[in-house]
Amino acid sequence: MQTTMLFAAVTAFGLAAVNESIRAAAKREEAIFGGGCFWCMEPPFARLDGVLEVTAGYSGGDEANPTYEQVSSGQTSHYEAVLVVYDPALISYRQLLETFWRQIDPTDAGGQFADRGRHYRTAIFYSTPEQRKEAELSLADLQQSGVFSKPVVTAILPAGPFYPAEDYHQDYYLKNIQHYNSYKVGSGRAGFLQRVWKEA
């Protein structure tokens, strides 16, 4: 019995070590998206195979170390954004872009749904020339698809510093499930995604 338990423990430890080695060996690239409220932008990326981490935060502004109070009240030039860390061997940047478009109203220049103000506008922040090219092609494809009758106004901007949001904002959709779901419906985002993309 003891031998069996010891073997199981060693095996479990070995599997954990192997999994950790795989995670460490994974190639890590980053993508930053502004899609309005970052609570709603975390889960669509977090559930994708090949995405390693998703962090809610602030980007696209000039001020260092912004707080939620500053950003949400329009005191900074930042967008609410998410930083997506992914393994390009498992998921492409283009696939991330396709996920991004399906979470937003890219024709709204004044915010997203019930959330108004520059910090809620949409943007793709590129870190490399390749990301910029992919973002521009993806935007052009969306515009030509006929899904939206109005122009796509989502900005494509060079990535600057990304500042993680406060801890209570991280994984909000898991920590505060009921409030998150109520907010997504009440803000108008859920209904929009259902009408446009037939999202459940």
Taking the C-alpha atoms of residue 168 and residue 176, their distance in angstroms, rounded to an integer, is: 10
Q: CA torsion 180→181→182→186, rounded to 10°? A: 100
Catalytic residue among 37, 71, 135, 152: 37
Q: How long, in residues, is the chain? A: 200
Torsion-angle region of 15 (φ positive above 0: left; ψ -120 to 50: alpha; else: beta): alpha
Taking the C-alpha atoms of residue 158 and residue 80, their distance in angstroms, rounded to an integer, is: 15
Cα-Cα end-to-end distance for the chain? 49
Which tokens sit at 61? Answer: 């502004």
Tell me how crowded residue 77 is: count the other CB atoms within 10 A of its CB.
14
Query: Which residue in the block uniquely carries the two structure tokens 């399906």?
Result: 102
Chain centroid to CA 83: how far?
6
Taking the C-alpha atoms of residue 46 and residue 96, their distance in angstroms, rounded to an integer, is: 11
Residue 40 appears among annotated catalytic residues: no
Query: Which residue in the block uniquely carries the two structure tokens 């973002």?
Result: 135
Active centre residues (catalytic): 37
